Amino acid sequence: MKAEIISIGSEILRGQIIDTNANFIAQKLTKSGFEIEHLSAVGDNYKILLSLLKKAFNRSDLIITTGGLGPTEDDITYQTIAKTFNLKLIKYPEAEEHLKKFLNRIKIKISPSNLKQTYLPESSKIIINKYGTAPAMILEKNNKIICSLPGVPREMKKLVEEDLIPYLKEKFPPSVIKKSKILKITGLGESSVNELIRDYINKQTNFSFGIYANPEDIQVQINAHAPSEKEVNNLLENSADYLKNILGDYIYGYDEQSLEEVVGILMKSKKLKVAVAESCTGGMLGELITRIPGSSDYFQGGIISYNSKVKEDLLKIPEDIIKKYGEVSEQVARSMAENVRKCCHTDIGISITGIAGPGGATKQKKVGLVYMALANGKETLIQKHHLFRNRQVIRLRASLRALNMLRIYLLNN
């Protein structure tokens, strides 16, 4: 079945918001066995939206729209869909009842513009939106299906998972089960990953593969299909195990796991505590670690020593070491890690110092030079990196590499 997603809202075209809705819907539809053939974004323009909807109904079997269901004049999704099929807009009493209860609960007085949201194309299957005021709908017409969802991401996600996907699964029970598994890789570049697994990939007939690159995070997606869920799960697990043998500890996790989540699991299992001392990353490493609920079990705190005086006063790094070797040096990274471990009373101290740019470089020390250290009280491990791209990417890559340094240490100790 050919599927299409249309995001509606002039704010998308102006770059005021990033359209994450289409990405989420595409993922959910793909996992449910639908093939996405078109993704579109259109502004709040009646003529352009009408033209796009007509094209969509000529080329696709399933059309999902998101946005344009609100109470204002530029919310025109339902009016345009009604015009596309020569349908009337009619009031749905259940939509009005929900709207009044919802607004009353949050103590907002109902207005005539709010009531606009209670009018949907006739013959629609209404979906009451428990998370907002705008109802969603599913309309079957001429062997085509259109589903309109609100543009508020939280509302849209809930309705996709609770209403749209169950409806589609019931209406189109799959003859073949399609599933995917994602391998999360760090410490290797995209081309290196490709070289290592290329021969295996080229020999497979039951799978398709995709390799996707983010800073310090390469993802290999394995796609498989089989008549039953048990069979497809076995295919995916066997393939993932084979790739694990090739890639080893470069694989840090699977599917939705993040590097910081994996590190947190390892820290908890080993009952260790960590502190961080950061310079060029400005607290980004600590922020990554504390994204994980329960990180207080293993993260004690950190020092953002952006200035040499802070390194001297709080981290007790002798002034002569900083003057002799510079703030961006192996010696300073070593002292930062060792001393933050002591002052925060932890098992492990991690440090990062570098030049994120665009200024601060010298002939000997270029933008992107980063030193990081890990101290455990018995030994101190040092890494030196030359990172590229802009300031923010260098800061992110440095933080992720330090986090991965911790992961590898925990795996081996």
What is the CATH classification number for the domain harbouring 209? 3.30.70.2860
Domain boundary among 155, 171, 187: 171
Examine the domain organization and report whether 163 and 293 are in the same domain: no
Examine the domain organization and report whether 32 and 132 are in the same domain: yes
- What backbone phi and psi angles, to 5 degrees, belong to 399? -65, -45
Mean pLDDT of the chain: 95
Examine the domain organization and report whether 332 and 373 are in the same domain: yes
Cβ atoms of residues 370 and 395 within 8 Å:
no
pLDDT tens sequence across 169-195: 999 887 788 889 999 999 999 999 999
Domain boundary among 239, 254, 269: 254
Examine the domain organization and report whether 303 and 373 are in the same domain: yes
Task: State the Cα–Cα distance between residues 311 and 357, nearest whole angstrom.
Answer: 20
Examine the domain organization and report whether 300 and 193 are in the same domain: no
Residue 312: give its domain's CATH number: 3.90.950.20
Name the residue range of residue 350's domain. Answer: 259-412
Closest among 1, 133, 122 to 59, alpha carbons compared = 1
pLDDT tens sequence across 48-64: 999 999 999 999 999 99
CB-side neighbour CA atoms (13 Å) of 312: 11
Examine the domain organization and report whether 249 and 108 are in the same domain: no
pLDDT tens sequence across 317-344: 999 999 999 999 999 999 999 999 999 9
Question: What are the distances in angstroms from CA 203 to CA 198, 200, 226?
Answer: 9, 5, 18
Using 50, 70 and 90 to split pLDDT, how confident is the model at 229?
A: confident
Examine the domain organization and report whether 183 and 217 are in the same domain: yes
Q: Give 246's contacts (C-beta < 8 A, 6+ positions apart).
A: 196, 197, 200
Residue 95: give its domain's CATH number: 3.40.980.10
Q: What is the pTM of this model?
A: 0.79
Examine the domain organization and report whether 6 and 74 are in the same domain: yes
pLDDT at 205: 84
Q: How long is the chain?
A: 413
Q: How many domains does the chain have?
A: 3
pLDDT tens sequence across 128-154: 999 999 999 999 999 999 999 999 999
Closest among 326, 347, 356 to 270, alpha carbons compared = 347
Q: Give 63's contacts (C-beta < 8 A, 6+ positions apart).
A: 3, 4, 5, 6, 53, 56, 57, 144, 145, 146, 147
Examine the domain organization and report whether 310 and 360 are in the same domain: yes
Examine the domain organization and report whether 246 and 264 are in the same domain: no
The continuous run of DSSP H or E covering 324 comes out as: helix 319-325
For residues 118-133, average pLDDT: 96
Examine the domain organization and report whether 146 and 264 are in the same domain: no
> What residue has token string 């697994």?
197
Domain boundary among 201, 223, 254: 254
Examine the domain organization and report whether 234 and 272 are in the same domain: no
